[in-house]
């Protein structure tokens, strides 16, 4: 599936890109600290992607994380600390045009770059002697590359976590009143959905009960169509898209911690 990202070129349409991506720079250049370090990951000639590693112990499980469309890797300090406290090291990756990354974002480049980021993630952990198990996670927009990698490399990760995710962008765009006009077809295929039905690794899907940006039924659609029998749906009561962690921190961290401990 090395070139599977090419199926996403149909989504590199201005109406979609303007809706999906909100790139911004890390103007203050988040400083390294005792518990976090920034890195640049080369994904193609002249283009590097910024990421930040929030670490606790070399024996902790390791989570490769793709964030939401209005977020930056350098803004994950508090969540990084919380994940460290439950025994997780966290590598958060940006997208093109985000943070200190080069280039401009597109759906296909996001998916293409995810493969290079995963390769770098494994090499980095091996070189630094981080011996814990490895998991993949995506939040909101980041559910796309997380699902892409989980389907492509079932033996490379112990499990997948999806938070506030979706697998059918055409459905989501339609709900938001955005219609993709193409002369030869009403809508491009939904490769994200095609990936979900191939995922065999253990998975947990976390979603806010009252998510007004990515409705709960999108997370439920992912959950229903995962072919793995080892899966769990976690709904955070009263939570919206951007309050899911604040509203349900205890439940969120408990479920995440239990999932990792069960499968590491």
Tally of structural domains, the chain: 1
Using CA atoms, how far apart are residues 245 and 8, in angstroms rounded to an integer? 30
Domain enclosing residue 51, as ranges: 4-263
Torsion angles phi and psi, residue 93, rounded to 5: -105, 140
pLDDT at 206 over 50: yes
pTM of this structure = 0.93
pLDDT over 70 at 249, yes or no: yes
Is the confidence at residue 184, as pLDDT, over 50?
A: no
d(CA 213, CA 228): 27
Q: Specify the pLDDT at position 67.
A: 98
Q: Going by C-beta distance under 8 Å and a sequence separation of 6 or more, which residues neighbour residue 153?
A: 118
> Which tens digit of pLDDT belongs to each residue from 138-156?
999 999 999 999 999 999 9
Confidence of residue 201 (pLDDT cuts 50, 70, 90): very high
CATH number, domain of 148, equals 3.40.50.1820
Question: Packing angle between helix 77-85 and helix 244-263, nearest 10 degrees?
Answer: 40
């Amino acid at each position: 599936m090395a070139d599977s990202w090419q199926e996403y070129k149909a989504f590199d349409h201005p109406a979609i890109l303007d809706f999906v991506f909100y790139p911004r720079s890390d103007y203050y250049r988040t400083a390294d600290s005792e518990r976090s370090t920034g890195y640049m990951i080369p994904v193609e000639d002249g283009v590097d992607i910024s990421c930040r590693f929030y670490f606790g112990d070399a024996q902790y499980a390791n989570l490769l994380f793709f964030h939401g469309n209005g977020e930056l890797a350098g803004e994950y300090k508090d969540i990084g600390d919380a994940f460290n406290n439950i025994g997780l090291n966290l590598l958060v990756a940006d997208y093109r045009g985000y943070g200190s990354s080069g280039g401009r974002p597109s759906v296909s480049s996001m998916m293409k770059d995810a493969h290079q980021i995963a390769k770098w993630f494994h090499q980095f952990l091996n070189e630094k002697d981080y011996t814990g198990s490895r998991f993949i996670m995506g939040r909101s927009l980041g559910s796309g590359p997380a699902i892409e990698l989980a389907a492509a490399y079932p033996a490379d990760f112990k499990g997948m976590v999806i938070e506030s995710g979706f697998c059918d962008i055409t459905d989501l765009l339609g709900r938001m009143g955005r219609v993709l006009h193409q002369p030869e077809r009403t809508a491009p295929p939904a490769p994200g959905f095609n990936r979900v039905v191939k995922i065999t690794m253990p998975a947990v899907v976390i979603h806010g009960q009252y998510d007004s940006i990515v409705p709960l039924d999108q997370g439920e659609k992912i959950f229903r169509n995962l072919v793995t029998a080892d899966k769990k749906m976690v709904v955070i009561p009263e939570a919206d898209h951007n309050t899911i962690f604040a509203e349900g921190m205890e439940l969120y961290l408990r479920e995440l911690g239990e999932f990792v401990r069960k499968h590491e």
